[in-house]
Structure 1
Amino acid sequence: MSGDFDDIDKLYDTVREVAAPIAGDDGYSDPLHFAAVNVLELCYDLRHCYMGDREVMLHENGIVPGMRLEGNAISTKNVRYGVNILWTEALFDCAMPRILCERRQRELTKGRRKSDGVSAQARYDVSANHVVLYQSLVYDTLAQAVSPNLHSRIMRLVIEVDSIFRSYFTQHFKQFDTEFARSDEGKRRKLLGPTMKRILEGREDYDEFCYDIRAFAAEHDCPIEHVSIHNGDWPDEIDW
């Protein structure tokens, strides 16, 4: 992911505005709380990105000799900031905000005149629409990175997922994310489809996983969110 300072800063603000009300400390009772907290991890990467802690690049900005610049010395290159994000994380962070944006639209529509069930204020909400733009760019990039068949299967998973995010145990996502990160770049291309299927479908293995987490938390008298799953260490270096 890359962009100029304003691009990254705006995305940081809008993702945080959509997710933070549900991920806040007072939101533990909200069934979307833990999934929203995971989305805020994107903000961590974005903040370090526009601070220049990840990648800083120069690119041509279109300024060429002969333009009317009124004698000012203007650089022909702009600064872009970049950060690498795993596909598993990018797709999870696209699936979940869709649900958060839908909730935001419902809140903005309450008590207001509406067309097709959505008020004008909700329809043209800058934060929700900026997140939708980000999602669109991710899905477009996915189409360029994988086969049409795999793109179709992953999009179906991302678009249809809803109920699994209710009280979602993010430890389930983390175990597959770590496994994905430890794989080399070539293997990840083969793993992406099956990995996203296991993360988002929430079938019997997910139900069993949640049961084990609850049992462990009860046995050790600790909150569910404090239970972690050891699935190997996060790699010091990722083969991008």
Structure 2
Amino acid sequence: MIKIRNTENLAGVTISGDFDDLYNLVEAIYSVTIDELSQKNHAYIDMSRRVLGLCYELRHAYQGDREIELIENQMNEAKMNFHSFIAPKNNVYYSCNYLYPEMFYIMLAINQLVELRMEMLAKTRFLMREALDKRVVWDDKIATIRVFQAAFVKCVKGTLTENTFARWMNVMNGYDTRVHLMETQYLDFLNVKYIKMSKDKRLKTLSPITKRIVEYYRDDDYKEISEAIDEAVSEFGWPKSEIKIQGIEYPENIEW
């Protein structure tokens, strides 16, 4: 089962699971992302690339390139004697860390991508009908993603106060989320700003930073970044996703 817990300094979360857990999660996320050659859902391509950044980390985790831990599996000598075989007493779990602002964005983005998959499977645009359609209810990819999201929400719930968590849930589940239109350089800006905070400041910022992501189009910093991107596109003709904003640099090491 996928497990998600806070990192020591609240820079983000640690996502962990056995090989199959992480492999199946990566396959599920791949199934909802939009191919770069897609014409129908072209507006979701940049958002999908960002989501695939999580897949990159998860894939390296189950390949053994990140952290590995041993988890007790409740096997003991009595059970082995009863079944007449020798078995390990621990399971191998693989894990990786992911920044909190990025995780908020990923959750919102996945919700939008799952909606597209629901429309595709049910062949209708009526969300209430889609959610209950037999081709949606029994879809293993959506189920795997929802388990992952539920684990993250459980982690957040255990981190925030009851009232703050309630407000956070309202923000995350608003009907006006359209992060597929966001210039994701703004997300880099929020990530870098968050990394520079102390642990106490990070805790106080978790709910407000979610609101900034959801309502990015109202944010003055976003408007400034978006204007700079538009100017670069006009002057150099580069794709928006390839433009870097001066001053937004990730540190080599993060105090997770």
Q: Structure 2 length normalisation: TM-score?
A: 0.84
What is the CA–CA distance in structure 2 between the aligned matches of 1:92 and 1:116, rounded to whole Å? 24
Give the one of 155, 168, 177 matched to 2:169. Answer: 155
List aligned pairs for 1:158-173, cutoff 5 A. 158-160=172-174, 162-173=176-187
Deviation at 1:82, TM superposition (A): 1.2
List aligned pairs for 1:39-58, cutoff 5 A. 39-58=51-70
Q: Residues 157 and 201 of structure 1 are in contact (CA less than 8 Å); yes or no, is this contact kept in structure 2?
A: no
The structure with higher relative contact order (CA 8 Å, sep 6+) is 2
Deviation at 1:7, TM superposition (A): 0.7
List aligned pairs for 1:47-196, cutoff 5 A. 47-67=59-79, 69-110=82-123, 116-118=128-130, 119-160=133-174, 162-196=176-210
CA separation of 1:162 and 1:129: change in aligned 2, threshold 3 A:
farther
Amino acid at match of 2:134: A
Q: Residues 2 and 83 of structure 1 are in contact (CA less than 8 Å); yes or no, is this contact kept in structure 2?
A: yes
Structure 1 stretches of 4+ moved >4 Å: none
What is the CA–CA distance in structure 2 between the aligned matches of 1:161 and 1:47, rounded to whole Å? 32
- Deviation per CA, 1:3-29: give whole Å up to 9, x if none: 11111111111011111xx1x221477
Q: Residues 52 and 81 of structure 1 are in contact (CA less than 8 Å); yes or no, is this contact kept in structure 2?
A: yes
Where does structure 1 lack aligned partners over 5 or more consecutive residues? none
Aligned to 1:199: 213
Q: Residues 108 and 177 of structure 2 are in contact (CA less than 8 Å); yes or no, is this contact kept in structure 1?
A: no
Amino acid at match of 1:75: P
Q: Residues 178 and 231 of structure 1 are in contact (CA less than 8 Å); yes or no, is this contact kept in structure 2?
A: no
What is the CA–CA distance in structure 2 between the aligned matches of 1:235 and 1:149, rounded to whole Å? 33
Deviation at 1:208, TM superposition (A): 4.8
What is the CA–CA distance in structure 2 between the aligned matches of 1:47 and 1:182, rounded to whole Å? 27
Identity of aligned residues (%): 27
Q: Structure 1 length normalisation: TM-score?
A: 0.89
Q: Residues 58 and 78 of structure 1 are in contact (CA less than 8 Å); yes or no, is this contact kept in structure 2?
A: yes
Deviation at 1:200, TM superposition (A): 1.7
1:229 aligns with 2:240: no
Deviation at 1:141, TM superposition (A): 0.7
CA separation of 1:233 and 1:204: change in aligned 2, threshold 3 A:
closer
Aligned to 1:3: 17
Where does structure 2 lack aligned partners over 5 or more consecutive residues? 1-14
Deviation at 1:36, TM superposition (A): 1.6
Amino acid at match of 2:213: I
What is the CA–CA distance in structure 2 between the aligned matches of 1:181 and 1:61, rounded to whole Å? 35
- Deviation per CA, 1:47-104: give whole Å up to 9, x if none: 0110111110111101122215533221111111111112112221111111110110
SS at structure 1 position matched to 2:91: strand
- Deviation per CA, 1:168-210: give whole Å up to 9, x if none: 2111111111211232333211222222222221215234532
